């Protein structure tokens, strides 16, 4: 039986870096964003359904993320249609991953874990967290990021403080050291639980 740890947090708060810390310590990790990337790529499971509702975003047999971002920015009402395609594909991939990795500590990097009401799917949830000012600086430094797109993403997500309050563990990512200490403490706690199970 595997132990399933959901890892979440708002954009720019350090989920990917934190997920890598868990991997370095022997956990097997699954990344929701990478799963979406695969679905958008050539031969990806999302390409055909997208070609029916948004043919303009298909370029060279794959979904062009820049064009998709532009379409969403211009018409947010398309989002539920996109999510209706993507969310079931991602869920199926996650289930396959769990089946393929028995008897392990599995860590799932899922930005919208609470928004999708998926917390019950995990044995525990950890949330990365840092001050909103630092979050904004990190996100705005990303290539192609605009203030309006950042604000739209924040609107889609629960406030970071609420995510942290609803989680079993909170990982302060203000510095690499605070993140390492938190990850080590969480794994010590999980391994103790597994020994006593």
**pLDDT tens-digit readout, 26-35:** 999 999 999 9
| Whole-number pLDDT of residue 27 | 96
Strands 28-31 and 105-109: parallel
pLDDT at 66: 87
End-to-end CA distance of the chain: 11
pLDDT tens-digit series, residues 136-184: 888 888 888 888 888 888 888 898 899 999 999 999 999 999 999 999 9
| Ranges assigned E (strand) in the chain | 3-8, 28-31, 58-59, 62-63, 105-109, 124-129, 169-172
Average pLDDT, rounded, for the chain: 91
Q: Over 80: is that where the pLDDT of 197 sits? A: no
Q: Residue 76's pLDDT is what?
A: 81
Q: Given this model, what pLDDT does residue 136 score? A: 84
Q: What is the pLDDT of residue 63?
A: 94
> pLDDT for 111-121, tens place per residue?
989 998 999 99
> Can you give the pLDDT at residue 155?
82
Quickly tell me which residue has 């018409």 as its tokens: 75
pLDDT tens digits, residue range 7-44?
999 888 889 999 999 999 999 999 999 999 999 999 89
Question: Which of 22, 28, 8 lies closest to 182 in space, CA to CA?
Answer: 22
**For the residues 63-74, what does the mean pLDDT come to?**
88
- pLDDT the model gives residue 84: 92
pTM higher than 0.85, yes or no?
yes
> Dihedral sign, CA of 106, 112, 113, 117?
negative
Are 54 and 170 spatial neighbours (Cβ–Cβ below 8 Å)?
A: no
* Angle between helix 132-140 and helix 147-156 axes, rounded to 10 deg: 130
Residue 56 is predicted with a pLDDT of 92
In whole angstroms, give the CA distance from residue 145 to residue 186: 33
- Rounded-to-5 percentages of helix, strand, coil across the chain: 60, 15, 25
Q: Pick the residue with more confidence: 77 or 46?
A: 46
């Amino acid at each position: 039986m595997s132990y399933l740890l959901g890892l979440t947090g708002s954009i720019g708060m350090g989920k990917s870096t934190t997920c890598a810390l868990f991997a370095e310590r022997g956990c097997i990790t699954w990344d929701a964003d990478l799963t979406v990337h695969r679905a958008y790529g050539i031969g990806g499971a999302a390409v055909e359904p997208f070609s029916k509702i948004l043919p303009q975003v298909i370029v060279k047999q794959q979904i062009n993320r820049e064009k998709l971002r532009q379409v969403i920015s211009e018409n947010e009402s398309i989002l539920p249609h996109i999510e209706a395609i993507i969310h079931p594909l991602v869920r199926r991939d996650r289930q396959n991953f769990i089946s393929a990795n028995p008897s392990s500590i599995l860590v799932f990097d899922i930005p919208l874990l609470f928004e999708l009401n998926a917390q019950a799917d995990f044995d525990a949830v950890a949330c990365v967290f840092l001050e909103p000012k630092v979050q904004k600086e990190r996100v705005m430094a990303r290539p192609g990021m605009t203030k309006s797109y950042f604000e739209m993403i924040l609107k889609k997500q629960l406030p970071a403080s609420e995510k942290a309050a609803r989680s079993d563990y909170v990982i302060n990512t203000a510095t690499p050291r605070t993140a390492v200490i938190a990850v080590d403490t969480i794994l010590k706690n999980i391994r103790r639980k597994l020994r006593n199970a």
